[in-house]
Amino acid sequence: MPRSRLGPLAIESKLGDSPSQSCVWRAIHVRLKKAVAVKVFSSPFGATPEARTDFASEWETLKKLAHPSIVKCYGGGFESNDAYLAYELIEGETLAAQLERRNRLPWESVLELAEPLIDGLQYLHEQELIHGAIQPDKIMIAGLSPVLVDIRVDRYGSRFNSSRPPTTNELSFRPPEWIQDPHSLSIRSDLYSFGATLYFALTGRPVVAGDTVEQVTENVLNEKPVSAASLAMDCPVWFDKLISQLLEKDPRKRPFGAAAVQLALAEVRRRSMSRTGVAEHASSGFSPLSVTDQKDRDEARSLLGRHFVQEPETPDATAWHDKPWFLIGSMVVIIAMLGWMAWPLSETQMRDNAETLLDQETQTSLNQAKNHYLVPMLSRFPDGEHADWAQEQIDRIDMLQADHALSVKLKRNLPLRNEGERLLAEAKEYERFGDTATAMDQYRSMETLLDDEKYRPYVNLARQRLAQIETRSMGQDEAATMIGAKLNEAERELRSGNVVAARRIWYSVIELYGNNEKVQPLVVQAQQRLAQSNSPPKPTHAP
């Protein structure tokens, strides 16, 4: 167990789904009062100077990573025989914990997880980094988004690594080439583990199983997994095909990279949005309606039932359920059922289905409500009795997603990509600083400056914030009073010896109000105090 302090960090409690096996701790940066997740690596006999240099280079590389689906690394350090890496603390549960609670996820939920994760994986690969250990307990569900954690530069080559052997469960997510040589990993190895994780989320069971490490190892190398669609009947054929390709034993048969998987996932979403039926399943590659060998016939039976596939039999020995009249009758019944399922919903039915999903308040359910019911409802019934309600719900979903995306970017110091995000972030900063008057002016300006439809979520967010603070708005003279109070607070911090806190206040005043002519004297005062804090003290002379 690590000591109670590691450098500037105060160690608190173990993290992870299995704390007894975890080497990750919750810690507090004492000076910054910031909670972090710290991974500790013990080296009983210390490490060579070269190993320490390599580890220091690793955390400098990790600190540069910036992506919404990749955990932020703050750096690392050494303390006696221990080394550590400090990461952003993600509040939420792991995918493994979620699956333990729910057993498996609907394929739509798995797709919602897969898209941001493969985007993050592509970013890692572009930085020439391989994760090397993707599995459900390395994925945190942070609000509406999944985040890939435990990023390393050289997971299996570093002197600072976990000495604990992998469990049978962890081995089931490893690619065959890892079994043969952990140092031979490539980007396609990550794709295998990514596919194994999707498979587990869809089916609730690992790609391969076994009672011992030896059995799992043997099965990873040689056992072909049962298709996901045969275990999860809601899984579309084209999603099943992608997962099967990701799980190819030969790395050369897997997709060439994360970008190819991104395109394939986009195609899965496109086909699912079009509500494609069995006919298009047939045109998408494998189809139980078009099989060529016994293996395909067996898979077809497992998907749609024995009676869809007719094998040549001796006429006299044909069972009643394989008679043409029975097969034709079965086809008629199935076609009738498909026709009934494809019958367009009424406006009221679409609203009822949307409300059921909206009540769940998850990213997947909100997206399903919007894409499957709300947008089609407006398209089919633009003047219907529920049209205004549908538009309100679409606006609310877009607002939630835009606000969540902005919060993630601000928290992780990621670049803002459009004018709506920039203006909203500035207004929130004024509000956080306590200047609601300027914040309200900024929110109001967004209504006139952002007249493009693509900025609608940000304008709606601005209107929402205006409504919330309208009753406690401040005048310009109150803003000056507030800034004066902040400057006085900075002076108190300075007298207490907390120079960093005082400088932070002066910086904020200058940054937020540098262009505000009405409070320029206060800005100048902040500039002068900041300059004085940067100057060395003058020597004193005895009389």
Burial of 250 (0-12, 13-18, 19+ CB in 10 A): exposed
Mean pLDDT of 349-356: 89
Work out the average pLDDT over 338-361. Answer: 79
Angle between helix axes 258-273 and 107-126 (nearest 10 degrees) is 150
Highest mean pLDDT among 132-141, 284-293, 341-350: 132-141
- Residue 193 has a pLDDT of 95
Contact 366, 397 (CB under 8 A): yes
Per-residue pLDDT for 54 more than 70?
Answer: yes
| pLDDT reading at 53 higher than 80 | yes
pLDDT top residue among 125 and 2:
125
Confidence band (pLDDT; 50, 70, 90) for 164? confident
Please tell me the predicted confidence (pLDDT) of residue 361: 74
Q: Report the alpha-carbon angle 209-212-216, nearest 5.
A: 40
Asked whether the predicted pLDDT for residue 541 surpasses 50, the reply is no
Mean pLDDT value across the chain: 80
Residue 326: pLDDT over 70: no
> What is the mean predicted confidence (pLDDT) over 390-417?
83
pLDDT tens digit sequence for 467-476: 777 655 444 4
- pLDDT value at 301 more than 60: no
Cα 242 to chain center, whole Å? 20
pLDDT of residue 499: 83
* Chain segment 173-216, per-residue pLDDT in tens: 999 999 888 888 899 999 999 999 999 999 999 999 888 999 99
Report residue 318's pLDDT band, with 50, 70 and 90 as the boundaries.
Answer: low
Question: Mean per-residue pLDDT for 148-173?
Answer: 84
Dmax over CA atoms of the chain, in Å, equals: 126
Give tens-digit pLDDT for 378-396.
888 988 989 999 999 999 8
* CATH homologous superfamily, domain 93-276: Transferase(Phosphotransferase) domain 1 (1.10.510.10)
User: Is residue 189 a contact partner of residue 130, using CB atoms and an 8 Å limit?
Assistant: yes
pLDDT of residue 274: 60
Ranges 1-10, 84-93, 237-246, 307-316: which has the least confidence: 307-316
Say yes or no: do domains 5-88 and 93-276 share a fold.
no
The CA distance from 269 to 263, in Å, is 10
- Higher-pLDDT residue of 343, 254: 254
Sorted by where each begins, the domain ranges of the chain are: 5-88, 93-276, 294-342, 347-411, 475-535
The closest of 78, 24, 16 to 48, measured between CA atoms, is 78
Q: What is the per-residue pLDDT for 191?
A: 96
pLDDT per position as a tens digit, 512-529: 777 777 778 888 888 888
Residue 543 has pLDDT above 60, yes or no: no
- What confidence category does residue 95 fall into, taking pLDDT thresholds of 50, 70 and 90? very high
What is the helix (H) or strand (E) element at residue 334, kind and residue range?
helix 324-342
pLDDT class of 306 with cuts at 50, 70, 90: very low
pLDDT, mean of residues 216-245: 90
- φ, ψ of residue 164 to 5 degrees: the values are -75, 130
Residues 6+ away with beta carbon under 8 Å from 277: 338, 342
CATH class of 5-88: alpha beta
Ramachandran assignment for 199, one of left (phi > 0), alpha (psi -120 to 50 degrees), beta (any other): alpha
Indicate the burial class of 203 (C-beta count within 10 angstroms; 0-12, 13-18, 19 or more).
Answer: buried
pLDDT of the residue at 439 = 84
Please answer whether residues 486 and 525 qualify as being in contact, where contact means their C-beta atoms are separated by less than 8 angstroms: no
Segment 267-296, tens digit of pLDDT: 888 877 665 444 444 444 443 333 344 454
pLDDT mean over 338-360: 79
- Does the pLDDT of residue 530 top 90, yes or no? no
- Say how far apart CA 78 and CA 40 lie, in whole Å: 10
pLDDT at 216: 92
Long-range contacts of 408-412 (CB under 8 A, 24+ apart): 408/68, 408/142, 408/143, 408/145, 409/68, 412/66, 412/68, 412/72, 412/88
**Mean pLDDT lowest among 66-70, 131-135, 145-149, 492-496:** 492-496
